[in-house]
């Protein structure tokens, strides 16, 4: 059984990795890349324009950033599939 301090340390490391990944994706998006949500047989995948896969956790951090807006190109207006960087 792990102690609360050990679990807290592991969560801190994971949060740092997610933030670093989100920063990397947002940096790519600021250089005219877009983040796309693609649906495959194995489920939904987030892929930037450069085609390097992004985990769902990182993609959710990117999508919720104030500098990233949806293009509203999904089948329904409330389900976007593309996000772009907007200069603040």
For residue 13, the model assigns a pLDDT of 92
What is the length of the chain? 88
pLDDT over 80 (residue 11): yes
Q: Which phi and psi angles does 36 have, rounded to 5°? A: -115, 145
Tokens of 86: 């907007």
Q: Looking at the predicted structure, is the pLDDT value of residue 46 above 90?
A: yes
Structure tokens at 54: 């992004």
Q: Which domain holds residue 59?
A: 4-85
| Domain count along the chain | 1
State yes or no: pLDDT of 51 exceeds 90.
Answer: no
Please say if the pLDDT value at position 77 is more than 80. Answer: no
pLDDT band at 74 (very low <50, low <70, confident <90, very high): confident
**pTM reported for the whole predicted model:** 0.83
Helix 4-30 and helix 56-63: axis angle, to 10°? 60
């Amino acid at each position: 059984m792990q102690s609360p301090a050990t679990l807290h340390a592991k969560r801190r490391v994971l949060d740092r990795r997610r933030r670093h990944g989100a920063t990397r994706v947002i940096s790519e998006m600021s250089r005219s890349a877009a983040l796309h949500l693609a649906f495959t047989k194995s489920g939904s995948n987030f892929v930037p324009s450069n085609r390097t896969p992004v985990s769902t956790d990182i993609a959710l951090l990117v999508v919720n950033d104030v500098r990233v807006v949806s293009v509203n190109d999904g089948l329904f207006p409330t389900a976007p599939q593309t996000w772009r960087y907007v200069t603040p």
